[in-house]
Amino acid sequence: MTLITLVRHGQTDWNLARRIQGSTDIPLNETGRADARTAAGLLTDTTHHAIYASPLVRARETAEIIAAELGLGSPTLVPDMREREFGEGEGKLVAEYLELYGDWLAPVPGAETLEGVADRALRALDGIARDSRRRSSPVAESVIVVTHGGVIRSLIDHVSGGTLPRVGEVLANGSVHRFEASPGSLRLLEPAILL
């Protein structure tokens, strides 16, 4: 069993403007760096053995800040923990996106489906859990994975059978979500610990 704590990256200027980032590589702003430090504070109640992150700069920098605060080594980058590809919707304001496409589940040219995001993220988390078990001797490992709102949303949706997160519920920048991973299984322990 591996305890996996997913952390949403800190705020960016595009988050602040309510602009869809997707795979566009937007850096943290100063509020985002503070979000990362606050998230690190929320993680001090558990011993963590390793930290992983999406390679996108906003997640990588959040992970680097958390690692420094918790005394962990450098984050291991995991490409399949990157944000959902939004295709033609990327870069649009949320209001524009919803006006054009109707909702988050509508097909958008070039965009990944939530199911596709969940599938690749589940494979990545399985690999992270295997990797963490190989690295050290404790039976129960605890790792942090810094990723993106779309990835976390797709995983929560998958493990809850579509009941969470609720429609319109925002996953805050820097929010913490705890899961338990066993071979072939992922279970939500805490939907969100908010800043």
Six-digit token string for 148: 């993106």
State pLDDT tens for residues 41-74: 999 988 999 999 999 999 999 999 999 999 999 9
Percent of the chain surpassing pLDDT 90: 79
Residue 195: pLDDT band with limits 50, 70, 90 = very low
Q: What is the pLDDT of residue 139?
A: 53
Q: Which of 83, 90, 112, 141 is catalytic?
A: 83
Assign residue 61 a region: left if phi > 0, alpha if psi is -120 to 50, beta otherwise? alpha
Question: Where do the domains of the chain lie, and which CATH numbers do they carry?
Answer: 2-193 (3.40.50.1240)
Above 60 in pLDDT, residue 150?
yes
Q: What is the pLDDT of residue 134?
A: 73
Active site residue 96: no
Percent of the chain surpassing pLDDT 70: 94
Residues 6+ apart with CB under 8 A from 79: 54, 55
Active site residue 49: no
Model-wide pTM > 0.85: yes
Q: Report helix, strand or coil for 11.
A: coil
Above 90 in pLDDT, residue 182?
no
Q: What is the pLDDT of residue 168?
A: 78
Check the CA dihedral 170-58-95-116 and report its sign.
negative
Q: Which of 9, 49, 148, 158 is catalytic?
A: 9
Q: What is the pLDDT of residue 194?
A: 53
State pLDDT tens for residues 24-49: 999 999 999 999 999 999 999 889 99
Sequence length of the chain is: 195
Amino acid at the residue 148: H
Cα maximum dimension of the chain: 52
